[in-house]
Amino acid sequence: MTDSAPQPTPKRIAALSDPIPTQPPRSQWLDVWDQFKQHRGALIGGITFLVIILAVLVGPAVWWVDAQYLPKGREFINLRDTRPIYVALWDNAAKVDWAHPLGTDNLGRDTLARMMSGGRVSIAVGLTAMLLSILLGTLIGVVAGYFRRMDGVLMRLTDLFLALPLLPLILVASLLFRETLSAIFGVEGGVFVLVVSLIGITSWMHTARIVRGDVLALKEREFILAAQSIGTKPKYLVIRHLLPNVMSPIMVSATLGIAVAIITESALSFLGFGFPPDFPTWGRLLNDSVDRMDLYPERVLWPGLAISLTVLSVNYLGDGLRDALDPRIRGR
Amino acid sequence: MLTFTIRRLVLSVPTLLFISLVIFLLLELAPGDPMAQVPLTVPPDVKEKMRQALGLGEPIHIRYVKWLIQFFWIEPQVLFDHIFGTSFADGKLRVISWQTRSPVMDLVVQRLPQTLWVVGVAYVLAVIIAIPVGIYSAYKQYSIFDQFGTFITMIGFSVPPFFTGPLMVVIFAVNLHWFPSIYDTTLVVDDLESLGKQIRQMFLPVMVLALQITAQISRFMRASMLDNFNQDYVRTARAKGMSEYTVVMVHVLRNSLIPVVTVIALGIPSIFGGAIITEQVFAVNGIGQALISAIQANDLPMVQTLTFIFAVLIVVFNLIADVLYGVLDPRVRYD
Amino acid sequence: MKIKTLLLGAVACAALAPAAFAERGKDGNVSIIYWQAPSILNPFLSGGTKDIEASSLVLEPLARYDDKGEMVPFLAEEVPTIANGGVSEDLTTITWKIKPGLLWSDGTPVTSADVKFTAEYCMHPEGGCAQLSFFDGVQTIDTPDDLTVKVTFNQPKPNPYGPFVGGQSPIIQKAQFENCLGSKAPECTQQNFNPVGTGPFKVVEFKPNDVITLEANTNYRDPDKPAFATVTFKGGGDATGAARAVFETGEFDYAWNLQLAPDVIAKMEAGGKGKAITGFGPLVERIEVNLTDPSPSLDADTRSTRKAPHPFLSDIRVRQALSMAIDRELLVEVGYGQAGKPTCDLVPVPDNYAAKNDFCFKQDIEGANKLLDEAGWVKGADGVRAKDGVRLSILYQTSTNAVRQDFQALIKDWWTEIGVETELRNVSASVFFGGDPGSPDTFQKFYADVEMYANTFNGTDPQQYLAAYRCGQEPKPESQWQGENINRFCDPAYDALIDELARTGDIAKRGEIAIKMNNMLTKDSHTIIGLVHRGRVSGQSNTLGGHVLNVWDSELWDAANWFRKQGS
């Protein structure tokens, strides 16, 4: 029980000691945000997207012309087919009116008001239908790709859905569910749910096949084998290791999906399975104006531009998000 | 892999039978009436007699079995007869369209050339353009070429063909008179002059279609290439002193092709399915137009047959894609 | 009548004077585009207008209607009447004489046996003939000699010009179709695609739903006609594309039925290659009012049947107010331009049968409001009128069509002004006009309060058209929702008039009865709210001559007379 001599403090080996953090710890998401901020395209895309959303949400409160208002009596003839004001720049004889900066349609309805209220529906349908289709597609793709037992069944299901003719499917769905849905969600709500689910369940197959293809290759890679060998549960394996690596095709599918959903919605309304005919949406505005595009190019230009801008901004947003979420890029 | 392919081929028979049943039931359930295009001036009792003459009075299961026999037993015989000059199918009832009262398969054969010319060429062209564009965009990410390509492809994808089609017609057919606006299916290509005519009349529809397909494929190509450029093996390859060409075109490309192969395999059946809107705008009258007019006229035997052929192609090409995965990445295993 | 007919024939020929020096086939090719593609060239197997018109280049009836709705002989020597002894005094028989020396395009002579066979073909119980109604009441057909056909009806027929008259019931060749009777009819693909006819052209190649190539019939009865050696008959695309191809690019010479807004057509005509031509038949765009209750809360056996009268549309004042609120002239201007006229009637032409009402031409929102006030429908806080808890809320459906959707928006707006709430719905035409009893969206089922569409009648006699509104003929569950009395209109006085019309032979008296019936449905009850008397618009190249637009028969009725204008 002798007191032992005080041990000499071992010399610190630089390589073995932890460096003392010079900055307070940062969450992963702050890093993501930093990286995202540096992505110019993503910032511009994000801002554009916010502006479009604001315009269609707040716009109608500021620009309070009713999208369905029709001029009465003599006014009707005066106000129909008004050109946008900028046309006056090169055409003095053009019929323009400051009360209708983007002009009116052949029934005298204000184009700006219709663009804004149309955008609400189109963006809402586009985003929700796309989310639904991506969720379904990713889920089915990952499950089929990772769990071999499910592969056969799920991919044959995908083949079946790919083969089903869209139009009869829509007819049957609207026959079976329209009245029930209207009873639950009201007329417009019911149509919204019907349209979104129809687009969602008829467009997930591409995503599913693409995700499955990638997963089939990924799951044989070393890092997945490593994760498996240390006993990672399949759920975490999928979420932490597989999903981040199939993000980019999913992002592409998502951006393309919005465009498809907005256009499909107009096709559905045109066939009579979508919103009531006096309910403007971008796709419908575009469709209705095609016959008159050489007389009134603005009527195709604005809705076409709106759809393209939305898709473009979501595309850049997606690009930035993917870069920001990729640790290999973020580290540089 | 051979056993895998054979097993899948055998398995696809019950799958296809099931798909055909689902399609049949779906079409039965869908509201619609083959008399929809008969004018209102034809009285209801006459319409009822016409429906009976189409065989609509028979129960569903009988009609389904009849279709199965006609499609899987009689039609192959007709084909056999056609090739070898035999007469097995003489006098047997083939799948008859309700609109034209003629065999559906004859119509398919008649429609295939223009669909292949227009949609097929558009697809091939799109793939030829899209893959290099996708590769280069990814290689020079955020360069002017990439930004411009992104812009064009995204706009190309978001404006639908019901708009780009008439736009092309107004610009190139009405104002410039460069190309015809209506496709002539009676044109026979047998010399240089008629080939020139054919190219001229294909030009606009092919452009409209190729724009959409290019946009889609090049986006997937670019995204997939980008994913791989950041992988460690690319750094290793470069470190070993491989040329950029070998790195990009051999290593990265091969590993990036899986999603693109999937997309192309999904797209090829749609060549045969035609492109409904584009065919309509330019009056190409290929298989897409046949399908949509059959749906509108509720010509069930025609819709059923066309959709089923389409289903067969989907199953086959998805199988081909699955086999290709293994070729592109030997680690993908099938057991 | 005979002289008149002859004169008309002479006038028709005079119109073609410039082509008269012409020889057959000198003008090369003429190209026609129909945006609905023909599927078959046998009009008996398809009721579709596109198929009937396409086949009229090849097949001809004994007599046709001309552009004024008068009958002109084609294969017959003259149109039989009571005056010339062709129609018996008791209206039970009609005797046709075929022109001597007529040949089929294969060179064999046309005989009465062919005519008789045509009737047998269509009247075969298993054939599913689309034109069966033209042979209504035919008892026997006799052929006393090679050129005489005597049709006997089982009861007096005030209008005996059903069989073998007009584009819908042309004569087919017995030798060709002999083995295609009844259930064999659909199997005769070769015959149905390449019928042998007497018309100016014969089929070279028929691609169903796509294109027909025809060439001049060398056995055509007039040796100088047709002026064109070949015809390309293209189908498919859409109305806009067809109009462009004629007006703007000049690729085609003739485009059928261009259902486009007037400003669109006017713009395209500015292309300078062609012009739009218009003709008025009896086609009326109308709003049909549902007299029964379409509420979804009712069970399937009661909904939209006469067991449940409509909660507010059974009030005539509501119907009248709905009609008064509509500005028909504006509708015409927006939707049809030159190709439409305001109308209040169901039967707008021909003169003998037209009531020519004008009570509805002036829009009267104030009057409509007053009428509803008087009727006890009071505006609520939301601006919608109600009485005893029943709100004037209307579901207004129609088929998908750009002009119809514009009409819906305008009419909804006017109805809002008189305190009527309107929900709009559009249904795809193939569902709306299809009679599938399983679908809730067909026009027959009428699960809506009002619906809008257009209807017309064949030929010049509205008897069958007006008889549709007989009580009991409405679509109902027991009849699998088949029936023509769409409004569920029921009036014993009207039914009595239907029977009277069927018995009356005197043309002036028939007109009187028909006008009375028309008024019972429109002016007196506002069950049918007439909107627009619609014309047919077709496009014709500036270089095409010899054509007169005919809405009473096939548009291609005079293809034999077409020629290419000189200097072009």
Q: What confidence tier does B229 reach under pLDDT thresholds 50, 70, 90?
A: confident
Contact between chains at B101 and C192 (C-beta distance less than 8 A): yes
Dump pLDDT digits (tens) for C492-505.
999 999 999 888 88
**Interatomic CA distance for residues A300 and A291, integer angstroms:** 10
Relative to beta strand C29-34, strand C230-235 is parallel
Judge whether residue C242 has pLDDT over 80: yes
The 10 Å CB-count burial string (b at 16+, else e) for A286-299 is bbbbbbbbbbbbbb
DSSP letter (8 states) at residue C187: G
Q: Let me know whether B78 and B130 are in one domain.
A: no
CA distance C473 to chain A (A): 26
Q: Let me know whether B300 and B250 are in one domain.
A: yes
Contact between chains at A165 and B154 (C-beta distance less than 8 A): no
Q: In CATH, what number is assigned to the domain containing residue B303?
A: 1.10.3720.10
**Interatomic CA distance for residues C495 and C466, integer angstroms:** 10
Chains that touch C (3 or more CB pairs under 8 A): A, B
**Interatomic CA distance for residues C443 and C399, integer angstroms:** 9
Q: Does a structural domain hold residue A98?
A: no
Judge whether residue A136 has pLDDT over 90: yes
**Interatomic CA distance for residues B127 and C95, integer angstroms:** 69
Q: Let me know whether B47 and B120 are in one domain.
A: no
Per-residue pLDDT at B18: 92
Q: How many CA atoms lie within 13 A of C306 on its CB side?
A: 14
For residue A80, the chain C residues in CB contact (below 8 A) are 334
Mutate to test the interface with B, among C187, C209, C288, C463 (most CBs of B within 10 A): C209
Q: Does a structural domain hold residue B93?
A: no
For residue A187, the chain C residues in CB contact (below 8 A) are 423
Per-residue pLDDT at B19: 92
Q: Can you point out the beta strands (E) in A35-141?
A: none
Q: What confidence tier does C12 reach under pLDDT thresholds 50, 70, 90?
A: very low
The answer to whether residue C426 neighbours chain A at the CB level (below 8 Å) is yes
Q: Let me know whether B143 and B235 are in one domain.
A: yes
The residue segments making up the domain with residue A191 are: 31-69+109-325
Comparing alpha-carbon positions, the chain B residue that sits nearest to C192 is B101
Rg (CA), chain C: 25
Relative to beta strand C390-391, strand C385-387 is antiparallel
DSSP letter (8 states) at residue B103: B
Q: Is the peptide bond between B161 and the residue preceding it cis, with omega within 30 degrees of 0?
A: no
Contact between chains at A163 and B19 (C-beta distance less than 8 A): yes
What single string gives the DSSP state of each residue in C496-524? HHHHHHHH---HHHHHHHHHHHHHHHTTT
Residues 208-247 of chain C whose Cβ lies under 8 A from any Cβ of chain B:
208-211, 213, 232, 234-238, 240-241, 244-245
What share of chain A has pLDDT > 70, as a percent? 90
What's the token pair of residue B119? Answer: 């949609």
Element spanning C254, H or E: strand C254-255
Dump pLDDT digits (tens) for B241-299.
888 888 888 888 988 888 899 999 988 888 877 788 888 888 888 888 888 888 888 88
**Residue C520 burial class via C-beta count within 10 angstroms: exposed 0-12, middle 13-18, buried 19 and up:** buried
Contact between chains at B19 and A160 (C-beta distance less than 8 A): yes
The 10 Å CB-count burial string (b at 16+, else e) for C77-115 is ebbbbeeeebbbeebbbbbbbbbeebebbeeeebbbebb
Contact between chains at C263 and A81 (C-beta distance less than 8 A): yes
What share of chain C has pLDDT > 90, as a percent? 43
B127-132: long-range pairs with CB below 8 Å, 24+:
B127/B213, B127/B217, B127/B264, B129/B210, B129/B214, B129/B218, B130/B213, B130/B214, B130/B215, B130/B216, B130/B217, B130/B218, B130/B221, B131/B217, B131/B218, B131/B221, B131/B260
Angle at B111 (CA atoms; ends B107, B114), nearest 5 degrees: 170
CA distance B308 to chain C (A): 20
Comparing alpha-carbon positions, the chain C residue that sits nearest to A167 is C428
The 10 Å CB-count burial string (b at 16+, else e) for C241-259 is bbbbbbbbbbbbbbbbbbb
**Interatomic CA distance for residues C66 and C70, integer angstroms:** 5
Helix (H, G, I), strand (E, B) or coil at C249: coil
What's the token pair of residue C39? Answer: 């599927």
Chains that touch A (3 or more CB pairs under 8 A): B, C
Q: What confidence tier does A2 reach under pLDDT thresholds 50, 70, 90?
A: very low
What's the token pair of residue A140? Answer: 């089915």
Select the residue of B103, B166, B293 nearest C37 (Cβ to Cβ): B293
The gap from C-alpha C361 to its chain's centroid, in whole angstroms, comes to 25
**Residue A62 burial class via C-beta count within 10 angstroms: exposed 0-12, middle 13-18, buried 19 and up:** exposed
For residue C299, the chain A residues in CB contact (below 8 A) are none
**Interatomic CA distance for residues B74 and B93, integer angstroms:** 8
For residue B280, the chain C residues in CB contact (below 8 A) are 236-238
Q: Let me know whether B146 and B228 are in one domain.
A: yes
Select the residue of C39, C125, C465 nearest B99 (Cβ to Cβ): C39
What's the token pair of residue A44? Answer: 């511009």
Q: Does a structural domain hold residue A284?
A: yes
Per-residue pLDDT at C373: 92
- Decide if C94 contacts C151 (C-beta within 8 A): yes
Comparing alpha-carbon positions, the chain B residue that sits nearest to A167 is B295
Angle at C42 (CA atoms; ends C349, C536), nearest 5 degrees: 30
For residue C457, the chain B residues in CB contact (below 8 A) are 41
**Interatomic CA distance for residues A79 and A106, integer angstroms:** 9
What's the token pair of residue B302? Answer: 């025609």
Contact between chains at B23 and A163 (C-beta distance less than 8 A): yes
Select the residue of C240, C330, C406 nearest A76 (Cβ to Cβ): C330
Judge whether residue B232 has pLDDT over 90: no
Q: What confidence tier does A205 reach under pLDDT thresholds 50, 70, 90?
A: very high
CA distance A52 to chain B (A): 16
Per-residue pLDDT at C20: 45
Q: Let me know whether B124 and B77 are in one domain.
A: no
Q: Does a structural domain hold residue B95?
A: no
Mutate to test the interface with C, among B90, B172, B186 (most CBs of C within 10 A): B186
Q: Let me know whether B23 and B171 are in one domain.
A: no
Q: Does a structural domain hold residue A11?
A: no
Residues 6+ apart with CB under 8 A from A92: none
Per-residue pLDDT at A135: 94
Judge whether residue A56 has pLDDT over 90: no
Relative to beta strand C421-427, strand C393-399 is parallel
The 10 Å CB-count burial string (b at 16+, else e) for C2-15 is eeebeebeeeeeee
Tokens 């009976």 belong to B52
Q: Rounded to a whole number, what is the distance in angstroms from the first to the last CA of chain A?
A: 57
The answer to whether residue C296 neighbours chain A at the CB level (below 8 Å) is yes
- Decide if C93 contacts C152 (C-beta within 8 A): yes
Judge whether residue C4 has pLDDT over 60: no
* Whole-model pTM over 0.80: yes
> Averaged over A98-106, what is the pLDDT?
83
Higher per-residue confidence, B36 vs A165? A165
Comparing alpha-carbon positions, the chain A residue that sits nearest to C442 is A175
Dump pLDDT digits (tens) for A296-321.
888 888 888 898 889 888 888 888 88
Dump pLDDT digits (tens) for C391-412.
999 999 998 888 898 899 999 9
Relative to beta strand C254-255, strand C274-289 is unpaired
Residue in B96, B70, B106 with CA at minimum distance from that of residue C183 = B96
The answer to whether residue A175 neighbours chain C at the CB level (below 8 Å) is yes
- Report in angstroms the alpha-carbon separations of C542 from C75, C151, C247, C251: 31, 44, 9, 12
What's the token pair of residue C246? Answer: 């004629």
CA distance C254 to chain B (A): 14
Residue in B3, B185, B16 with CA at minimum distance from that of residue B107 = B185
Q: Let me know whether B30 and B77 are in one domain.
A: yes
Per-residue pLDDT at C11: 45
Contact between chains at A249 and B266 (C-beta distance less than 8 A): no
Contact between chains at A175 and C263 (C-beta distance less than 8 A): no
What's the token pair of residue B322? Answer: 């699955």
Within C213-364, residue ranges assigned H as helices are: 239-247, 262-269, 316-324, 328-335
Contact between chains at B160 and A283 (C-beta distance less than 8 A): yes
Mutate to test the interface with C, among A72, A107, A110, A188 (most CBs of C within 10 A): A107
Partners of C342 in beta bridges: C532
The residue segments making up the domain with residue B239 are: 104-328
Q: In CATH, what number is assigned to the domain containing residue A296?
A: 1.10.3720.10
Helix (H, G, I), strand (E, B) or coil at A303: helix
Contact between chains at C441 and A272 (C-beta distance less than 8 A): yes
**Interatomic CA distance for residues C254 and C559, integer angstroms:** 11
Q: Is the peptide bond between C350 and the residue preceding it cis, with omega within 30 degrees of 0?
A: yes
Give the number of other CB atoms < 10 A from CB of residue A117. Answer: 20
What's the token pair of residue C169? Answer: 């019931």
**Interatomic CA distance for residues C167 and C177, integer angstroms:** 19
Q: Let me know whether B214 and B322 are in one domain.
A: yes
Q: Does a structural domain hold residue A312?
A: yes
For residue B44, the chain C residues in CB contact (below 8 A) are 435, 482-484
Judge whether residue C6 has pLDDT over 50: no
Judge whether residue C7 has pLDDT over 50: no
Q: Does a structural domain hold residue B96?
A: no
Higher per-residue confidence, A209 vs A175? A209
Q: Does a structural domain hold residue B92?
A: no
Dump pLDDT digits (tens) for B304-327.
999 999 899 999 999 999 888 888
Select the residue of A278, A294, A295 nearest C408 (Cβ to Cβ): A278
Domain count of chain A? 1
Contact between chains at A175 and C439 (C-beta distance less than 8 A): yes
Mutate to test the interface with A, among B33, B143, B158 (most CBs of A within 10 A): B158
The gap from C-alpha A145 to its chain's centroid, in whole angstroms, comes to 24
Partners of C205 in beta bridges: C213
Q: Does a structural domain hold residue B241?
A: yes
Judge whether residue C22 has pLDDT over 70: no
Per-residue pLDDT at C415: 93
Dump pLDDT digits (tens) for A255-272.
888 888 988 888 887 777
Contact between chains at A107 and C410 (C-beta distance less than 8 A): yes
For residue C410, the chain A residues in CB contact (below 8 A) are 70, 107
**Interatomic CA distance for residues C7 and C19, integer angstroms:** 19
**Interatomic CA distance for residues C282 and C343, integer angstroms:** 11
For residue C130, the chain B residues in CB contact (below 8 A) are 38, 42, 46, 50
Higher per-residue confidence, A17 vs C119? C119
Percentages (nearest 5) of helix, strand, coil residues in chain C: 30, 20, 50
Judge whether residue C524 has pLDDT over 80: yes
- Decide if B283 contacts C233 (C-beta within 8 A): no
Mutate to test the interface with B, among A146, A148, A252, A271 (most CBs of B within 10 A): A252
**Interatomic CA distance for residues C128 and C71, integer angstroms:** 28
For residue B142, the chain A residues in CB contact (below 8 A) are 41
Per-residue pLDDT at C91: 86
**Interatomic CA distance for residues C537 and C428, integer angstroms:** 23
Note the ipTM here. 0.85
Per-residue pLDDT at C21: 55
Relative to beta strand C385-387, strand C254-255 is unpaired
Q: Does a structural domain hold residue B50?
A: yes
Q: Does a structural domain hold residue A96?
A: no
Q: Let me know whether B194 and B301 are in one domain.
A: yes
Backbone angles phi, psi at A11, to 5 degrees: -70, 135
What's the token pair of residue C102? Answer: 């007529």
The answer to whether residue A290 neighbours chain C at the CB level (below 8 Å) is yes
Q: What confidence tier does A75 reach under pLDDT thresholds 50, 70, 90?
A: confident
Give the number of other CB atoms < 10 A from CB of residue A93. Answer: 7
CA distance B281 to chain A (A): 12
**Interatomic CA distance for residues A80 and C405, integer angstroms:** 16
Domain count of chain B? 2
What share of chain B has pLDDT > 90, as a percent? 15
**Helix B192-229 with B161-168: angle, nearest 10 deg:** 140
Q: Let me know whether B170 and B260 are in one domain.
A: yes
The answer to whether residue A188 neighbours chain C at the CB level (below 8 Å) is no
Q: Does a structural domain hold residue B155?
A: yes
The 10 Å CB-count burial string (b at 16+, else e) for A246-275 is bbbbbbbbbbbbbbbbbbbbbbbbbbbbbb
Q: Does a structural domain hold residue B148?
A: yes
For residue A271, the chain C residues in CB contact (below 8 A) are 400, 428
Q: Let me know whether B46 and B119 are in one domain.
A: no
Q: What confidence tier does C340 reach under pLDDT thresholds 50, 70, 90?
A: very high
The answer to whether residue C137 neighbours chain B at the CB level (below 8 Å) is no
The answer to whether residue C170 neighbours chain B at the CB level (below 8 Å) is no
Residues C172, C176, C182, C184, CA torsion sign: negative
